[in-house]
């Protein structure tokens, strides 16, 4: 990963909060698509009809000023069972809802604090800047995740993996079990 000074840094027009790196730009058009955005808050997922079809998306807000900035693609297909399956996973500190039971991918992750869960999507979380980290399964580019309400560190998001076997983790969220409570 290399970032040169020539790469533009995209910041919030409102408050100058840095949002995305030029070398994360994947596609540009009316809206820019990035591999990763930082200092943003992710909203809950929702179904939205876009020109290219029906998508599951989540709105993105600036973590500093709250300005609505765009959206994140969660899933690129029709969610027929979007009625959420319990439990709901919330922040243990402040009860901010973080993830839905039907977004749970795996409960077999390990964090410093112990067991961690992997989800397709997490809401009401702030994404930090990405960085490279050697995990048990090799080198990954990840971003830390914080609660949008109390600021507690909750886990991380996999931004990029470098091993084909790890690819399924990309774009997914790992939340530490100890930091959450399950609400039924």
Site residues (CB under 5 A) for Zn ion? 12, 14-15, 17, 62, 64-65, 67, 91, 93-94, 96, 147, 149-150, 152
Q: How far is 71 from 130, CA to CA, in rounded Å? A: 18
CA 175 to each of CA 20, 35, 75, 180: distance values in angstroms, whole numbers, following the listed order? 23, 20, 19, 8
Q: How far is 5 from 8, CA to CA, in rounded Å? A: 7
Q: Which residue has the tokens 């490279």?
A: 132
Compute the Cα dihedral for 96, 175, 50, 66 and give only its sign.
positive
- Closest distance between Zn ion and the C-beta of residue 64, in Å? 5
Q: Which CB, 72 or 140, lies closer to Zn ion?
A: 72
- Closest distance between Zn ion and the C-beta of residue 17, in Å? 4
3-state secondary structure 81-121: CCCCCCCEEEECCCCCEEEEHHHEEEEEEEECCEEEEEECC
- Cis (ω within 30 of 0) for the bond into 52? no
Q: Which CB, 98 or 141, lies closer to Zn ion?
A: 98
Q: Which CB, 38 or 160, lies closer to Zn ion?
A: 38
- Closest distance between Zn ion and the C-beta of residue 146, in Å? 8
- Closest distance between Zn ion and the C-beta of residue 63, in Å? 8
Q: Which CB, 65 or 85, lies closer to Zn ion?
A: 65
Tokens of 71: 């959206």
Q: Which CB, 147 or 159, lies closer to Zn ion?
A: 147
- Closest distance between Zn ion and the C-beta of residue 75, in Å? 25
């Amino acid at each position: 990963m290399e970032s040169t000074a020539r790469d533009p840094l995209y910041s919030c027009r409102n408050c100058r909060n840095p949002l995305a790196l030029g070398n994360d730009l994947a596609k540009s058009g009316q809206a820019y698509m990035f591999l990763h955005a930082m200092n943003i808050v992710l909203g809950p997922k929702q179904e939205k009809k876009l020109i290219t079809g029906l998508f599951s998306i989540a709105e993105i807000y600036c973590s500093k000023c709250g300005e609505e900035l765009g959206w994140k693609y969660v899933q690129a297909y029709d969610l027929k069972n979007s009625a959420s399956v319990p439990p709901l996973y919330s922040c243990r500190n402040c009860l901010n809802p973080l993830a839905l039971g039907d977004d749970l991918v795996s409960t077999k992750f390990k964090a410093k604090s112990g067991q961690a869960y992997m989800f397709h999507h997490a809401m009401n979380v702030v994404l930090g800047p990405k960085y490279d980290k050697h995990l048990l399964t090799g080198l990954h580019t990840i971003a830390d995740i914080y609660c949008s309400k109390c600021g507690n560190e909750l886990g991380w998001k996999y931004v990029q993996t470098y091993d084909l076997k790890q690819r399924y983790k990309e774009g997914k969220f790992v939340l530490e079990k100890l930091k959450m409570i399950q609400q039924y």
